[in-house]
Amino acid sequence: MTSQVIRTAIRSATRQVIVPVETRWRELATESRESWRGRLLIETGETAALGKYKARHLEHLRRNQDGVAQQKATFAVAYLQAQETQNTLEAVEIRPKPAISDQTASSTAGASITDAVHKPV
């Protein structure tokens, strides 16, 4: 055999081995790209869903905080009103009661209830 024939035989054998390997490698690369593309789409969808979930719950928390602030304000007003009422009651209890004068006491001492009811106007 000549060197030319040997080279041709080696090339032919190499093609028979390399072509199926390259074809399989391309198939695997395509499958891998499609797999990654699918994963990215899934992850992107999950990220969007998590973003919506997060936004919804942050809005819920904000509304709860607004409600708590409103309740605090309501309780503060009620507390201030209770304090004012308590202060008024204490002021009434502390204020000295008017003393009955001697003249008023002597004029009412002899009078009876029937006199007061039947007293001419």
pLDDT in tens, 59-107: 988 999 988 899 999 999 999 999 999 888 888 777 666 666 655 555 5
Structure confidence at residue 96 (pLDDT): 61
Q: Which is higher by pLDDT, 27 or 11?
A: 27
Percentage of the chain lying above the pLDDT 90 cut:
9
Average pLDDT value for the chain: 78
pLDDT bin (cut points 50, 70, 90) of residue 14 is: confident
Helices (H) and strands (E) in the chain, counts: 3, 0
User: Does residue 111 carry a pLDDT above 70?
Assistant: no
For the entire predicted model, the pTM comes to 0.37
Task: Please report how many Cα atoms fall inside a 13 Å half-sphere around the Cα of residue 121, on the Cβ side.
Answer: 1
Instruction: Please give the torsion angle defined by the CA atoms of residues 47, 49, 55 and 60, in that order, rounded to the nearest 10 degrees.
Output: -140
CA distance 2 to 13: 17
